[in-house]
Amino acid sequence: MSGMIFVNLPTIDLKASIAFYQALGFDNNPQFTDDTAACMIWSDTINVMLLTHNKWREFTSRPIPPSTSSEVMLCVSLSSREAVDNMNEAAAAQGGTADINPTQDHGFMYSRAFSDPDGHIWEAIWMAPEAINSEEKNS
């Protein structure tokens, strides 16, 4: 069995966050969604759990950082440069902040970073398949 990851994120407005992540291409899993939490599926092994602040506090007493802080940056790989641009534009259109860091364009690798409405940082990245294959041969 492959390992799975569940990224848990506190959110102020659960419905707005669900709409935001759906606009980015995540699917909602209604089996694990209610008025306090939503499971958003990125892939067979990667899920994002959106938790209201009260639900979040059931798991930890540590404070929720302000939306202006950066504790982690979550990165997802996409199939093309255009897909990276589209995700960044969708983030901005759904209440996130586009291009919170400078765009990285190294020719073989391209990325843009944005934040969701709660300030969680995401980076969409594309890497040329031949660059990935070249790295595998050099290892």
Distance in angstroms (rounded) separating the CA atoms of residues 70 and 55: 21
* pTM for the whole structure: 0.86
Question: Which of the four pLDDT bands, split at 50, 70 and 90, describes residue 138?
Answer: low
Locate the domains of the chain by residue range: 1-65, 73-139
How high is the mean pLDDT of the chain?
92
Instruction: Specify the pLDDT at position 129.
Output: 78
Structure tokens at 55: 């639900």
Q: What is the pLDDT of residues 39-79, one digit of tens each?
A: 999 999 999 999 999 999 999 999 998 888 888 899 999 99
Structure tokens at 133: 């294959």
Q: What is the pLDDT of residues 3-16, one digit of tens each?
A: 999 999 999 999 99
CATH code of 73-139, in short, is 3.10.180.10
> What's the CATH superfamily of 1-65?
2,3-Dihydroxybiphenyl 1,2-Dioxygenase, domain 1 (3.10.180.10)
Distance in angstroms (rounded) separating the CA atoms of residues 124 and 18: 18
